Structure 1
Amino acid sequence: MRLLALLAVVALAVTGCADSDPARPGVLTAGIREPATLLPADVTDQAGRLVTGALWTPLADYDPATGKVTPRAAESIESTDRVRWTVKLRPAKFHDGTPVTAQSYVDTWKVVAAAQWASSVVLTKLLRAREITASTPDTITLTLDRPSGQVPALLSAPGLVPLPASALASRDWAGFAKAPIGNGPYRLDGPWRPGAGGTLKRVGTGKAEEIDLRVGDPAAQYDEVKAGTLDLATEVPGEKHDAMHTDFGDDHHATWALPRAGYLAFPVTNPRFADATVRHGFALGIDRAALEAGPLAHQVDPAKALLPPADAPGERSGTCRPCSFDAAAGKALLQQASFPGGATVYFAPSSEAWARTLAVGLHKSLDVSVTAQPAPGAADGPSTVDISLATASPYELLSELASVSGYTDEVFRQNLALADAAATPEEAGELYRLAENQLLRDLPVAPLWSGHGHAVWSSRAHDVTTTPFTGPVLAGIGVS
């Protein structure tokens, strides 16, 4: 019996099961998927944003619904003419003890702009600065190629956080992603362990002293939170979607908008899809609820507007008629436009499952032949588009939607440029809504869905809040 007891203790130590009890004072246990990368400028997945959101502090937070910017690593982001911008930094250090200076940002942004990372577009296509300099150790000066009021929103992008001089000198991005060094409220204690996770130690204003991040299957993590052996699960799979509301109640689960949306882009220069009546017919033939409940597994909301909630300026007004499912009206529009019938929906590999369901649904609802195929070099039919945003600025998404469809209307382009140059958030919001409404009328792209995230937590965790780019804000979660 003593031998068996000894073997049991050894097995417990080897498997790490002793750490499965979350009730360690000051320690929050959280379940996540394996992040694709922890290099902040190249993060696009929810798990990566969650971890880097704890390791780094962005210059500011931006709420597109109000246009409000809240400085964080920055003390202020100001301009008198919207061409020359000045960013004053708060005193801060990297986790390796070196100071975060204006030059840290300048040098990092040079690397990001030259790379093909997810956030490179923020600097090269959206910010478009002619010059970025460190005018003093705590002051960044940007000179743009045109007046823009969007600079605070763009600089709030989580991918524009600074990298330490050691990483910039080595250029070993793969190595840095395994042991990242940030400027945020938590540091990574040792390298990231693929397939297992990592431990975050508090160095700033976080509530938990330590955060134990565990990589695993979301369904299993959900059950662990329910059983009380895990504090927080940051993803809820589709099969648990309905149970979440009864298993955890309103005060122990959350849903939040993600910076991700899906569209059907029409080739507006193709004669068969040049008529907006045809495009509206196809839009009305899409059963978005069937996509949400089927291949998209309750991880999205059917679109109710062109811009997703994570990117929408101000209050939404009116209804989005092209977001409706009305098969009879869709068929009537195609007949009105004398659409010859037959179409191919093209998709990227990551969109295949829901694109094929979309094509089958269109075939049934519109009574025309619709098939689905992998996207060729140049598509002669509608294409599915799955967009992940690098910023919360509507300018990024609206310009991208026009680009993917080949839409070149001059009035739309002018409204977008005026919104970019607007002096106030209110003025910009009105102009963005004009541009959005024009896209809904001309419909070069049909909105399909917007992504959302789910989290559940135990009674031990409290003060759980979420944002589109980080999901649950780890630094704000307390444990009791």
Structure 2
Amino acid sequence: MPVHGAVEPIDGLGPLIPGAKNCMVRRIGVVLTAMLLVVAGSCSEPERAPAVPGTFSVALSEPARLLPAEVTDLPGRLVADAVWTPLFAARTDAPAVRPLAALSATSTDLITWTVRLRPGMRFHDGSPVTAQSYVDTWRTVLLRQWRGAEVLTKTLRAKDFRAADPLTVELVLERPLGQVPLMLCAVVLVPLPPSALSAGNWTEFAKHPVGNGPYRMVEPWRPGSGARLARVEDYQGPAKGIAREITLRVAANPDEQYELARSGQVDLATEVPGGRHHQMHSDFGDRVLMWPLPEVTMLGIPLRDKRFTDAAARHALALAVDRAALEAGPLRHQVDVATSVLPPAVVLGRRSAKCRPCNFDPTAAKALWEQANSPATELSLTFPAGADAWAQALAKQLGATLNLTVSPKVGESQDGLSVLTRTPHTRSPHELLASLTALGYANAAFDQAMTAADTADLTTSGDAYRRAENQVLRDLPVLPLWSGHGHAVWGQRLSEVTPSPSLAIDLATIKVA
């Protein structure tokens, strides 16, 4: 039996001998310390799984929805762009489109459109993609009043659509519109397979969607975890996916995404937190992508309020906003300050110069406010939940520059200023400009410019939409603030990381070393 207080022999060290007790204790301490350091090191540095050739992993936030007609957020578009192929893809260098699931969209009167489909396209369950697939899907979208219904009813203003033959869709509008090919790029208008349309179990379908794209989901989506995508080997679209398999890994927040990519636990992070913005180039070199998101934020004004009927008052408010300070401060470099009403995500080309009301000019703002002789001394500013930090700062800017009391609050109001954030479904300038009329904006010159733009060919409509936008900048029914942009960073195994047609990340075109 061991004696209480005695030191027992340790295998590999031999028995303790008289006079060597202190030495052996030191040896034991060194061994135990080394063992603890090894254990600690294994905890702080996660073991990286060996890279599998032809595959890569992606960190993303939890998608809000996976039903394509309901998708609006970046993670949802990321998945949808891999699993589905839209009819067309917008060109970013010119107002034109690139055929994907369609071959062409033509019209002789800009009212009746003929959309010819690419032959051989199939859903991941093997069923063919036909004109009837689109017709039945769009009817379901309208019946269920999913978000895609807004594109069909408000943006396209479709009066009818039908299958003229197995590979031809005829789309009839209420009025002439040359923007149709650009609007048919919308991910909310992609087709659903007959099996899903007949079953009508949309909760289950959203867990394991079946699309017509270059990748299929090989397992149901696991909330908080993700899923795996496998390349469709017999895909008949314009270009097969490059990687053989893609693992989608849900991260709790952008900070976790960034750290997973920096430590090599994933190959690609689709968001960069504001706190890492200044170090992303030092951490990843030139493996950084920034691109415009389909998201624009404006300041809405109650146009019937007598305090704002004078355009000088509205211009004063616009010039009183220091957008650059908000971008670098509470917005944490996640936006592009406005240079016009239409954001960079809209396919129209950039303006030659920054719009006058998009500047910060406190001296001019004060002069215009006094010129307008506005009776306002107190204003409310309503904003959406989660925007407290920058909304409070915006209210302080307006109050300090114009000597007002501006009270920010969460919610919706028609009594004062309101923050308006829009996520257009299409990249056509028509959608965003036409939506201003719903805010009570009316101007004959604006209406005339919009009619000219809408009835022009897609490739020649840009100048007319610019005239409509310029009229908005003169009247300022809304004040341009900023638009969102995305960030992505990736490891050395990947290349050719580019935005997707819906302005997520194009997973299908990424090359793997």
Checking the alignment, whether the CA contact within 8 Å between 1:346 and 1:379 is kept in structure 2 is no
Q: Is contact 2:311–2:475 with CA below 8 Å preserved after alignment?
A: yes
Q: Is the CA contact 2:59–2:260 (under 8 Å) kept in the aligned structure 1? A: no
Which amino acid letter does the alignment assign opposite residue 379 of structure 1? Q
Q: Which residue of the partner structure matches residue 14 of structure 1?
A: none
Q: What is the Cα deviation at residue 229 of structure 1?
A: 2.4
Deviations 1:405-460 (A, max 9, x none): x111122122212211112422x111100010010111111100110000001110
- Comparing 356-365 with 131-140, greater Cα deviation is found at 356-365
2:304 maps to 269
Measured against aligned partners, the alpha-carbon deviations of 1:84-103 in whole angstroms (never above 9, x if no partner) come to 11111112110111111100
SS at match of 1:108: helix
Distance change in 2, residues 1:475/1:64 (3 Å): closer
Report what 2:194 is aligned to. 165
1:296 and 2:325 matched: no
C-alpha distance in 1 between matches for 2:487 and 2:381 = 30
Distance, in Å, in 1 between the alignment partners of 2:267 and 2:379 is: 49
Give 2:91's aligned residue. Answer: 63
Tell me which residue corresponds to 1:329: 364
Determine if contact 2:314/2:476 at 8 Å carries over to the other structure.
yes
Contact 2:91 2:347 in 1 (8 A): no
CA distance in 2, matches of 1:221, 1:67: 34
Decide which of 89, 93, 117 is 2:146's aligned counterpart.
Answer: 117
- 2:206 aligned with 1:177, yes or no? yes
Shift in Å, 1:166: 1.6
Distance 1:125 1:242 in 2: 41
Q: CA deviation at 1:64?
A: 6.0
| TM-score, length basis structure 1 | 0.92
SS of residue matched to 1:412: helix
- 2:270 corresponds to which of 231, 234, 245: 234
1:189-215 deviation digits (Å, cap 9, x = unpaired): 110000000000000310100000000
Matched, 1:76 2:109: no
Is this contact kept in 1: 2:179–2:458, CA < 8 A?
A: no
Q: CA deviation at 1:468?
A: 6.4
1:39 partnered with 2:67: yes
Percent identity (aligned) = 51
For structure 1, list consecutive stretches of 5 or more residues without a partner in the other structure: 2-16
The TM-score, its normalising length taken from structure 2, stands at: 0.87
Within 5 Å, which residues of 2 pair with 1:192-341?
A: 192-203=221-232, 204=235, 205-216=240-251, 217-250=253-286, 252-340=287-375, 341=377
**Could you tell me whether the CA contact under 8 Å between 1:351 and 1:386 is conserved in 2?**
no
CA contact (8 A) 2:94 2:347 kept: no
Bigger mean CA offset, 220-229 vs 81-90: 220-229
4+ residue segments displaced more than 3 Å: 350-353
Q: How far, CA to CA, are the matches of 2:148 and 2:275 in structure 1?
A: 33
State the partner residue of 1:434.
467
Q: CA deviation at 1:161?
A: 0.2
SS of structure 2 residue aligned to 1:383: strand
Give 1:449's aligned amino acid.
W
The 1:351/1:312 distance shift into structure 2, 3 A limit, reads: farther
**Distance in 1 (alpha carbons) for counterparts of 2:505 and 2:241:** 13
Residues 450-459 or 395-404, more deviating: 395-404
Q: 2:332, 2:143 → 1: CA distance?
A: 37
Give the AA of the match of 1:463.
E
In 2, distance between residues paired with 1:273 and 1:379?
13
Q: Could you tell me which residue of structure 1 aligns to residue 22 of structure 2?
A: none
Give the AA of the match of 2:178: G
Specify the code of the residue in structure 1 equivalent to 2:444: E
Contact in 2 for aligned 1:257/1:468 (Cα 8 Å): no
Range moving further from structure 2, 70-79 or 407-416: 407-416
The CA deviation string for residues 387-419 of structure 1, in whole angstroms up to 9 with x for no partner, is 111000001001123323x11112212221221
- Residues 174 and 295 from structure 1, CA distance in 2 versus in 1: closer, same or farther, beyond 3 angstroms? farther
Indicate the SS of the match to 2:109. Answer: coil
Give the letter aligned to residue 279 of structure 1.
R
- Which residue is equivalent to 2:76? 48
Q: Is 1:108 the equivalent of 2:137?
A: yes
Structure 1 residues 127-146: Cα deviation after superposition (integer angstroms, max 9, x where no partner): 12222000111110112222
Read off the aligned partner of 1:139 and give its amino acid letter.
Answer: T
Deviates more, 1:228-237 or 1:187-196: 228-237
Amino acid at match of 1:161: V
The amino acid of 1:34's aligned partner reads: E
Question: Which residue of 447, 454, 475 corresponds with 2:487?
Answer: 454
Look up the match of 1:11. none
> Which amino acid in 1 is paired with 2:507?
L
- Quote the residue 2:8 is aligned against: none
Range 62-71 or range 173-182, more displaced: 62-71
The question of 1:417 aligning with 2:451 is answered yes
User: Could you tell me which residue of structure 2 aligns to residue 408 of structure 1?
Assistant: 442
Deviation at 1:350, TM superposition (A): 4.6
